[in-house]
Amino acid sequence: MKHTLRLGLVPAYLTLCLLLGGASGGGFWANLALQLLALPILIWGIVARRSTPMTSAARSLIVLLSVATAVVLIQLVPLPPSLWTILPGREPIAKGFELLGRPLPWMPLSLAPSKTVASALWMLPAVAVLLGILRIGGFKPSWLAASLLVVTAASVGLGALQLSAGAGSPLYFYRITNADAAVGFFANTNNMAELLVVAIPFLGAVYLSASKRGSSVQRTSGLLTVLLGALAVLLVGILVNRSLAGLGLMIPTIAATALMLVFRRRQAPSWSGLLVVALLVGSVALVLGSGFGNNLTTSEARQSTTSRYTSFNTTIEAAGDYLPVGSGLGTFPQIYPMYEDPQQVDRWYMNHAHNDYLELWLEFGVPGAALILAFLMWWLWRVVRVWRATDPDPFARAATIGSAVILAHSFVEFPLRTAAISAVFAVCLALMAEARPRARGQQTSQGSAPRARHISAD
């Protein structure tokens, strides 16, 4: 019983994250509850003693997490005026104290320490999921996939009800939301579309896992019918959602999932990866075409103060002024307005850069860029190992596809700023590092090592 409860720990918490963590700024109390629930999982994950050693991939991932945590903590360490005043971007602050006639205080690297702490707390659910899998082993891959698929299906149904009820429907759970679209348990359409796309490879993994347990033609045909029906629901949800990111990522995701099904019992050939990359590039190029009315490459985007084209260029300009250490985690909303044209500012504002890589470049500077590069190298290493394995794990392969969707979407959005998507991303990374929960050691009543059984034949 205790073992079953432990295996259900992360799937249950993931379900809560998907239901309650659908906004990056809204839903304060729901996200606070997720952060508080993450604390006991984090403590357990830190003090837990594994019965089996972690894989090298899991250890490397934990090291990356530890380094990232250290970088955030360093941003909060107070520095003497002789140090922080020589850092780029701090001159206006020093002049402000000078105009007030006050002595320069000790200040941290972060220009908004309270925002840095708050932003770090928002990552607690994802870290709890990661440690819950890698350190506690509180999961079963099929249960994680089931949690993801069940909530996704419920979100599609909720989205249909939202559309039928209209913009004023009480079924929209966030004050700031796309009230004319099917957002499900999220605040905006892009994150909802991302969940739908990520669910596709996990649907394929569930099919492969279930088909292994029964080889009869009737059972396999029935599972395939269920798979196609569920896939149809996801595709309809993506089309109804109308997110350009969802449409652009859907085609390469379906192709990668099909490859997972075709090469279910053997290594995937090298050309399969090139095919998926080609489809991704083609899909993105198609979506960024002027006919789709995106706000990154069109002429209208160049004139708009709230387009991604403007936010990307403005963030790059600001990041250059705060190199090499950045402005501090969570400081984007305070830094960005300083680089806007006051004559063009209206009631709309940029809460994020809509590109997680550029935003981290601004907030962390060179250390952040180095961390991103190190992580991407780890990710590529695991993708190759997972897809070239002679005994492939379907959930690990699904995790590579799901994480690729989130990483690609992060170029035009900020999905990892929501507890729901960041928790799914943590699941993907953990499954890439260690796809199967460790086996429990069978001990004798005295707690000694398990007794061997000897078989002899005459």
For the stretch 231-271, pLDDT in tens is 898 998 898 888 888 888 999 999 999 999 999 888 888 88
Between CA 380 and CA 122 the distance in angstroms is 26
pLDDT at 443: 39
Specify which residues 107 forms β-bridges with. 79
Between CA 406 and CA 417 the distance in angstroms is 12
CB contact at 8 A, 157 and 147: no
**Token pair of 273, please?**
């990866």
Percent with pLDDT over 70 in the chain: 91
For residues 122-146, one letter each, b for 16 or more C-beta atoms within 10 angstroms of the residue's C-beta and e for the rest, the string is bbbbbbbbbbbbbbbbbbbbbbbbe
pLDDT band at 292 (very low <50, low <70, confident <90, very high): low
Rounded to 5 degrees, φ, ψ at 95 are -65, -35
**Token pair of 237, please?**
């949800």
Q: Above 80 in pLDDT, residue 428?
A: yes
User: What is the DSSP code (8-state) at residue 292?
Assistant: G
Determine the Cα angle at 424 with ends 423 and 426, to 5°. Answer: 65
Cis omega (within 30 of 0) for bond into 324: yes
Task: Supply the pTM of this predicted model.
Answer: 0.91
Among 114-118, 146-150, 241-245, 292-296, which is the least confidently predicted range? Answer: 292-296
Between CA 98 and CA 94 the distance in angstroms is 6
Across the range 158-180, mean pLDDT stands at: 87
Q: Above 70 in pLDDT, residue 213?
A: no
Query: pLDDT tens digit string along 393-407?
Result: 999 999 999 999 999
**Three-class SS state of 79:** strand
CB contact at 8 A, 415 and 198: no
Between CA 200 and CA 368 the distance in angstroms is 31
Query: pLDDT tens digit string along 25-78?
Result: 778 899 999 999 999 999 999 998 888 888 999 999 999 999 999 999 999 999
CB contact at 8 A, 51 and 441: yes
- Ordered by start, the domain boundaries in the chain are 2-49+68-75+110-433, 76-107
